[in-house]
Structure formats: C-alpha cells, structure tokens
Amino acid sequence: MTHLITNIKELIGITSKPILIGDEMKLLPTIKDAFLVIEDGLISDYGSMKDVPASHFDKITNASGALVLPSWCDSHTHIVYAGNREQEFVDRINGLSYEEIAKRGGGILNSAKKLQETSEDDLYEQSAKRLEEVMLLGTGAIEIKSGYGLTTEAELKMLRVIKRLKQNYPIAIKATFLGAHAIPSNFAKKSDKYIDLLIQEMLPQIAAEELADYIDVFCETGYFTVDETIKLMQAGKEFGLKSKIHVNQFTAIGGIRAAVENGALSVDHLEVILPEDIEMLKKGATIPVALPSCSYFLSIPYTPARELMNAQLPLALATDYNPGSTPSGNMNFVVATACIKMKMTPEEAINAATINGAAAMELSQTHGSIAKGKVANLIFTKPIPSYGFLPYSFGSNHIDKVMLLGKFI
Ligand code: NIG
Ligand code: FE
C-alpha cells in the first residue's frame, strides 16, 4: 500500500541522527512545500513539491497547507493508575506540601491502595482511556511505568495491563518496572526486606513473563537511597533490564553518579542539580529527561535545560503523566512550558520531545523524526503560520489529525 501526501506547508524534524546533543538541538531541519510517501506504514520518500514523483499511488492525501511533524515521543509516564488524587490537589492549594501529604500516607501509597482494590479489567479500561487521550494529542511512542502496585500481585497486574495496551494499540509502548516507587507501610523501617521482595520475588516473575523493558527506582530522600538504587539497577541488569531512574526531584543525593556509573539509559526529573552532576553526565551516555509539567503542577523548580545543553548534553522532554505530581499527558503543553519556563527555543523543545524522547526509549531507529524507513507516526496541524506558533500559542490544540503506522487514527 503506497500513500502520497502532497502540499505539506512544512515538513519538520528531518534527521537520521539517533540523538541530538547540546548545540545540535538548535537545528530543526525542515522542507517547505513538501511531499511525503508512505509504503506499508513506513516513510519511504519525501522532498520538495517540485520533485513530487509521478508514479502511481494507492492513495493520495492533500495536506492542504498543514505542517507535518513526527509524533511526540513521551519517554516517562505512569498512565496506568486507579482513580485520582484530586483531594491532595486541594490539600496543596490549602497549604500542605507534596512531601507533607506523602508523610501522612497520601501520595504514592494512596494510589497504591486504590490500585490494589481495582480489578485488572477496570484498571485496563481506565488506562486505555488515558492512552487514547494522549494519542489524539499527538503522542506516538510512550513509556509506561508500574509502581502503584507495591505488592507482587499488584505490580504484576499493572505490568499485564501495560502488555495488553501494547497488544491492542498502534502506539509504540515500553514498559518499566518501578516496584521501588515507595516503601509500602507494612515495610516501614524494613526497607531492606522490601528490596529483597523486589529482587527475589518480583523481578524473576516479571522477567519470566517478559513484562518489562526497563527498571526504575525513585532515588530520593525518604524513598530509596543511592545504595538501594545501585542494588536494584544491578539486579535489573541480571535480568537484562537497563535502568531509567527518578532522581534529583527534590534533593541531590548522588543518584546521578550512581545512574551514570551503572549505565542507566536515562535520569529523569533533575529539578535540583549540582555542578558535579553535570560533570558526571558528561562522562557517560545516560540521557537527562526533564518533566516541566511536574514542575508546573507542584510549583517546584524547572530542570536547568540551558545548563545541560550548554554542557553539550542531550536533553529529552516527557510528561510524567501520573495522578499525584502531573495529572496531564499533553506533550504540546510540555513543549510550550519548556519554551516559556525553561527558555528552550521551539527547535530545542521539539527535538527534545521527538528524537531525543525516542532515544530515551531506545526507539530512535524507528521513531522520533522524518527519515526513510521510520514508521509514519505523524502530526498534521491545523492551519498555523509556523512551528514556533505551537509553543507560542500555548493551551490551544493545533492538531488536526494524527497518523500512527501510516493510518489516521
Ligand atoms: O515522577 N516522583 C515520583 N513519582 C512520580 C509521582 C508519584 C506520585 O505522586 O504519584 C513522579 O513525579
Ligand atoms: Fe515519574
């Protein structure tokens, strides 16, 4: 099946590089007045309209002046959860902090209780709705974490839901085991016993059922220490799981060094970052990931994007969609907020939300840019003057149509 798209006002994000680093992020290659050819769901050709091929196509779509860009690659989410935490949102408005709410047994433990009481089918339905929502907002590849189960049974339930989502939707999905998201209350002051449970009971079952691509740890004061994080990363490695680590959200305790030294694929959050953390990142291949919607929702600092990019590091942007710190999965808002609050240029933000997001999920061979042989996962905009208008005119939905694997959804 061949499909020709004509009259694209601007075809955006053309690159075959697997990741963009530092100054490379400033460039967003495009072709104005372009065509694109899709063959069996893959991009097979593109170029300027004056060179449009004259051959026969099974289908022709006139893009009528839309901008076309690669769909968003959201490399950090927790979209499998039960219910919501609207009450904690109101509690925070009334003066409590995120940390204070967690100390009272709210927070992640609150979500875990709800999830443990929810059936797998109900959890699937709630999560599928969120997945469909973000697909319509232009996300074409997504990472989804467990971590609201915190018992073997409930963690497996979450990961099985992610597996079902993988089977039933055209979006690319990577699954991450985040059993080390919080210490359950029955393990309070016995975190070593919980780590044993994660390593000796959960990990082998998850590996046997092939339920996870990565392992994650919430490395943070009051959650998991650097030593515990190292232990879990190493245990994950034994089962073939690379790590993606929650680190430096509230405090800088040395988690970045541990992650880089253990070959983590990414370190995510980084709202609080020390000069030595940046030096450490320069020594390894671990990708920093910023989550600006989380900073927005919790009113905490934004990841210092400019410092990271000036250090010639790559940077990816993701939503962190979850019930507690970021109840939003809108990558368009992430891109706008990165520009408005983190002073990223539109080019840098779009690169961070596409090709670098794909790299943070090891998907850059197939996703994240316009290149021959990559899947046709594309965003078609409504009539807008230029790509910079996307973050400039924040809060409006500029997406007209979304294509995944060559088909409009
Ligand atoms: O990435 N920081 C840890 N985990 C999530 C939030 C968890 C929650 O509050 O439910 C995050 O922000
Ligand atoms: Fe998170």
Instruction: Provide the CATH number for the domain around residue 266.
Output: 3.20.20.140
Residue 208 tokens read as 């046997």
Domain co-membership, 233 together with 326: yes
- pLDDT greater than 90 at residue 103: no
What confidence score (pLDDT) does residue 130 get? 98
**Mean pLDDT for the chain?**
97
CA-closest residue to ligand 1 atom 5: 325
90 confidence band (pLDDT: 50, 70, 90): very high
Asked if the structure places residue 331 within a domain, the reply is yes
What confidence score (pLDDT) does residue 325 get? 96
What confidence score (pLDDT) does residue 102 get? 87
The number of distinct structural domains making up the chain is 2
Residue 4 tokens read as 């020709």
Tell me the mean pLDDT in the region 181-199.
96
Q: What is the pLDDT of residues 291-327, one digit of tens each?
A: 999 999 999 999 999 999 999 999 999 999 999 999 9
Tell me the mean pLDDT in the region 7-23.
98
Pocket test for ligand 1, best of 84, 108, 158 (most atoms within 8 A of CB): 108
- The answer to whether 182 and 106 have CB atoms below 8 angstroms apart is no
Domain co-membership, 307 together with 377: no
Instruction: Indicate whether residue 111 lines ligand 1 (CB < 6 A).
Output: yes
Distance 325 CA to ligand 1 centre (A): 5
E strands of 155-252, at which residues? 172-180, 214-219, 242-247
Print the domain residue range for 110. 73-359
Q: What is the pLDDT of residues 250-297, one digit of tens each?
A: 999 999 999 999 999 999 999 999 999 999 999 999 999 999 999 999
- pLDDT greater than 90 at residue 99: no
Asked if the structure places residue 127 within a domain, the reply is yes
Domain co-membership, 51 together with 170: no
- The answer to whether 382 and 399 have CB atoms below 8 angstroms apart is yes
Q: Specify the CATH number for the domain of residue 387.
A: 2.30.40.10
Residue 260 tokens read as 């880089």
What confidence score (pLDDT) does residue 352 get? 98
pTM exceeding the 0.75 threshold for the entire prediction: yes
Smallest-distance ligand from the CA of 219: 1
Asked if the structure places residue 364 within a domain, the reply is no
Distance 268 CA to ligand 2 centre (A): 8
Asked if the structure places residue 218 within a domain, the reply is yes
- Residues forming a β-bridge with 35: 47
Q: What is the pLDDT of residues 240-255, one digit of tens each?
A: 999 999 999 999 999 9
Domain co-membership, 246 together with 395: no
- pLDDT greater than 90 at residue 227: yes
Distance 283 CA to ligand 1 centre (A): 28
Domain co-membership, 193 together with 267: yes
Tell me the mean pLDDT in the region 158-183.
98
Domain co-membership, 10 together with 154: no
Asked if the structure places residue 259 within a domain, the reply is yes
